Amino acid sequence: MNIVVLDGYTLNSGDLDWTSLQALGQCVIYPRTMSEQIIERAGDAEIVLTNKVVLGEAELQALPKLRYIGVLATGTNVVDLEAAARRQIVVTNVPAYSTMSVAQMVFSLVLELVQQVGHHNRRVHDGAWSASADFCFRDTPLVELDGLTLGIVGFGNIGQAVARIGESFGMKVLVHVRRSHRFKELQQGGGPSDVELDNLFAQSDVVSLHCPLTEQTHHLVDARRLALMKPGAILINTARGPLLDEAAVAKALQDGHLGGLGVDVLSSEPPSADNPLLTAPNCVITPHIAWATLAARQRLLATVVANVAAFQAGAPQNVVN
């Protein structure tokens, strides 16, 4: 089978091995593909793998040989699933490969905001400690997590991992879930409390978002919900950028009501130069790297290969349409 990878660079910038995928058929791997290049590059492909290259109905109609689309991620919004189903094109994704890496990033952001490690490291290298009269130098507040309340919006694999880490820090954990029956199953044997969304924002010292981006969750965090938060509370977003009304969040930071923001995602990526969060105070931004540890990408590639092999064997797995 002809296999085309449209945008393989973010998965494998050179530190992984494509050999296992190449063994499954004639394989062409492009680091990046512009939308106008899709038809030319994938015209003869039966199998197409994509991360961020969008495959809508128009592209699917123009690819008559296409039988399978493998998304190199968990989210599948880059593919028109209904159009693919109508054309009997199987679409698969890779679930849960980055759970612990993203949970690790959540607390990297939290700890940077409460412990100010990066800030104090820079001050030491700038000479502030050398010029200090005391053995201990600090010029920002430091916050202990033990006893604080962690609110988690969404309780899938990542949300559950974040809850476990929060509890290990001595935090009280609250969650808000969409599917209460699923939460009750997870609750067998004890665990965090499920609360209404506004109550979670009002009660939490740290709020971490782990929900999908839908029409209902677009700008989930807006001016009204920010006003519910405790003065000085911290907001973390490693899910999807448009969950935040970024202008409202920037204003809450500037006004001092929101104590800190840690995000690994923005509404547009790469961000525009005028994104209000880029100049907001007490704002830590990482460039969508929570998923990208070597271990996570190794798991991702292994599952991508397994998905393709399962499809070729007539027993597709991780099918999303």
Triad 95, 219, 242: Cα angle to 5°: 50
Residue pair 81/60 in contact (Cβ under 8 Å)? The answer is no
Count CB atoms within 10 A of the CB of residue 22.
15
For every residue of 79-109, DSSP letters joined together read B-HHHHHHTT-EEE---STTHHHHHHHHHHH
- Token pair of 209, please? 């978002």
Amino acid at 117: V
Which of 29, 61, 75 has its CA nearest to residue 48? Answer: 29
Residue pair 48/67 in contact (Cβ under 8 Å)? The answer is no
Which of 229, 225, 177 has its CA nearest to residue 202? Answer: 229
From the number of C-beta atoms within 10 Å of its C-beta (0-12, 13-18, 19+), residue 68 rates as buried
- Order of strands across the sheet that contains 90-92: 26-29, 2-5, 47-50, 68-71, 90-92
Name the residues annotated as catalytic: 240, 269, 288
From the number of C-beta atoms within 10 Å of its C-beta (0-12, 13-18, 19+), residue 28 rates as middle
CA distance 157 to 154: 9
CA distance 117 to 181: 41
Encode burial over 233-245: b for 16+ CB neighbours within 10 A, e otherwise: bbbbbbbbbbbbb
SS3 50: strand
